[in-house]
Structures are given as C-alpha cells and as structure tokens.
Amino acid sequence: MKKTIKIGIFDSGIGGATVLKEILKILPNENYIYYSDSFNNPYGDKSKEELKEICKKIINILIQKNCKAIVIACNTASTLSKDLREEYKQIPIIAIEPAYKMVHDYAFNEATLVMATKRTIESNKFNNLLKNYNNNKTYLLPCIGLADAIEEADKEKIQEFMKKELAKYAGKVQNVVIGCTHYALIKEEIKNTLGNVQFFYGAKNLALHLKDELQKNGLIKNVNENKRVKIKIKHLKISEKYIAKNKISENLYKNIEFIDSSKNQYKKTRFFEFLSQNTNF
C-alpha cells in the first residue's frame, strides 16, 4: 500500500471536522477524504443493524477510493468499531470514543458531565469505560436532538437545549466529557451555560493513535507536498470578503477531499470554514 494515498474519515455530518482538525496538527502532510453522511443523519435513531450497514457502505466507498486507513469520527458509529475491525482486517480502523478515562487520570475527584447521544450512553463500549473508570461523581446526559440541531445550524434549538437540559448542571460540575464530535462545535455555548468548566475530548488522542498505526504499518507520508494558498482580501467589499473567505477556506486545505452524501454545498462551506477557524480544546 502506497504512503501517498489518502486517509478516510467519516461522520454523520460535519462534526468530525473537530477530529480532523486535531489530526491535521499531527499529520499535516497526509491527504484526506472526509465523508459527511448527512443523508443518514442522525445516527442516534438507527438500529444497530441499520447503523452497521451504513458504516459498511461508507467504509467500502473509502476503500474503493484507495484509502490506507479509516477514521470513525463519530462516537455513535464507533460503538460498532470492534465488529467493523473484525470485518475489515485489511485496513487500520481508528475510532473516536468519549474521553472518560482522561477524567480518571487528571480530574478524578471532580464532578463530571458526560454529554453524548442516547445510543452512545447505552452502548456496551461506553458502559465498560464507565465501569472501569467511574469516579462516582458522574452525570450522564443523553443529548437527544442536539447533534441534529448543530448539523443544521439551528441556533434556536441549540439555545433551547442549553436552557432546558444543560443549565440544570450549572454549578454542579467541573468537567465536561464531549461524547459526540458535533458538540465540540458548540464549546463556547456549553461554557456560557455551565461556567468555567474543563473539557475532555478524545480527538487529540485519536490523532496520536492514528499516527502510531500509520508508523507501525509503514504508511506515514513524509514529504510536504501540500502547499497553502495565500489570498489577500483586505481591500474587498464585505460581500466579496465573505465569498473570498469561503474560497480561501477550501484553498487552504487542498489535501482534503470533501464528500457529502446529500451533495449539500452548504455543508461543504461550513466544514472548510470551521477548519480555518482558530479554535482549540
């Protein structure tokens, strides 16, 4: 398998961009295909059998496009990672998971809120994690409908969730485990609701794991062939600046191919806009 072929990443929408952003910090020279499955979004309401078939279809597409590794950038889909690895032994599959172990390692004595989809919270994978590292000061919040609201950029629904569901934990928790990649896109809204909490998110550890897997299999791309494009927009009109910024966002990441299962151009614009923003965990 050639080192120069791409890494495939998929999510139920654009939430996995928060994972890709961490991967790019560690593996900037690689080429990527990002598959946004907005057609089947949300994954949380699918049966295990339905979700497995969806994941297999996407993995098959990415393998057909000669990807050398697959990243599951969706916590809900990652609950099936063990089954998928058994079925696709020919390719490394790296999956995101809620960073609950990090709470055990770094903030064991502090009250913690785990925000995730209902399916993730009910999964065997997460419950094994909880059983092994439970600090007995943990609240579990199944955030029904939140990922979908974030995917659709529905600010009204997001704020409604903050007030009705999240605000009750204000002053009660010091840590928040981000158990869905979409929630990382609204970190500031969560912080405004809960106060000065510490976030635990598994994207950075996933990126390190991906690098280890590529090195182990001799698949790291070492030569930096991805040149960024510099465009000056200082003297453009406001409307022209917005269009230009969207172009810049895509031009900055020529090493990333974006595919949306609904062929939604707006998703693509938001995806590249987020990648170009200076946000960190």
pLDDT top residue among 242 and 152? 152
Q: Where are the domains of the chain?
A: 7-97+203-276, 100-200
- Could you tell me which CATH number the domain at 7-97+203-276 has? 3.40.50.1860
Residues carrying an active site annotation: 74, 180
Q: How confident is the model at residue 239 (pLDDT cuts 50, 70, 90)?
A: very low
Angle formed by the axes of helices 265-276 and 238-251, nearest 10°? 80
Report field, pTM of the whole predicted structure over 0.75: yes
Q: How confident is the model at residue 253 (pLDDT cuts 50, 70, 90)?
A: confident
Average pLDDT, the chain: 89
Tell me: pLDDT of 179 over 90.
yes
- Determine which of 4-8, 56-60, 95-99, 241-245 has the lowest per-residue pLDDT on average: 241-245
Per residue in 122-140, pLDDT (tens digit) is: 999 999 999 999 999 999 9
- Could you tell me which CATH number the domain at 100-200 has? 3.40.50.1860
Q: What is the pLDDT of residue 45?
A: 84
Over residues 68-94, the mean pLDDT reads 97
pLDDT top residue among 229 and 185? 185
Tell me: pLDDT of 227 over 80.
no
Tell me: pLDDT of 248 over 80.
no
Per residue in 14-72, pLDDT (tens digit) is: 999 999 999 999 999 999 999 999 999 999 889 999 999 999 999 999 999 999 999 99
Tell me: pLDDT of 84 over 80.
yes
Q: Do 7-97+203-276 and 100-200 share a fold?
A: yes
Q: What is the pLDDT of residue 243?
A: 41
